[in-house]
Structure 1
Amino acid sequence: MAQINPHINFNGNAEEALNFYKSVFGGEFSKIIRFKDIASEEFPIPDKEAHKIMHIALPIKQNFLFANDILEIMGRVNENENRSKIAITAESKEEAYKLFNGLSAGGQIEMPIDENPDGTYFAMFRDKYGIEWMVKFDPKHKGE
């Protein structure tokens, strides 16, 4: 079975955003590469952008959340564009609420987490970094 790992571009705040996600999901970064680490004569990096993130990886169970910064010379990411949502399936009602409360802090809630008529729990929101999330928990199908 293929593994899907979300990868998010940021405008210079990838490290801040991934530290926020780490505070919600837990764990430790498995890799951090800064642009200064890959700089060369063929690929010069301006001093003001040397500490920006070229690649960062946060393991979340068997998956990873990847991110990087976009250098100013490469343009900007439209943080208000309609990106694809990152869907999380929680293993418990408590975990669903914890993830929703943590990730939505400072963001815009489109649909607050609540129990649906079929007994499932679901929420949709944009976090404070503009990333769109969906959190769900289905007590009949844990982990799906």
Structure 2
Amino acid sequence: MMKRLDAYLFFDGNCREAMNFYKDTFGGELNLMTIGESPAKNQFPESMVDTVLHAGLIIGDFTIMASDNCMGGDLPKGKDVSLHLSCESTEEVDLLFDKLSAGGQPLMPPKEEFWGDYFCSVTDKYGFNWMLSFSAQRQ
């Protein structure tokens, strides 16, 4: 069953600043990818090239993941945090996606993403956001 649960934080344009603050506070190794550095850059307006698409601060066995609000729109409190589950297989991702989608709202169906993970996201029937992934390279 699942390998680990991490927090995924969403920021309204200040992800780089916040993640550098957390790095200064907790230490660790910070990796950032902007929209302009990603294969998905053509899917976004030119004005968003410096927007953080994904950040990861690795502190031993603990990881804080984050991004700017790349999808636009409001970012009300409660929608600015997702729970990220690292799963053991693509089958587990599919199973959990189906279960969490029941009565909820599928956001991104499971598929292989450009960064190599099998990934999906869903809001469950209680309004909590979940991100599920399986990474063959981290096995």
TM-score (norm 1): 0.48
Q: Which has the higher strand share?
A: 2
Q: Which protein is bigger by CA-based radius of gyration?
A: 1
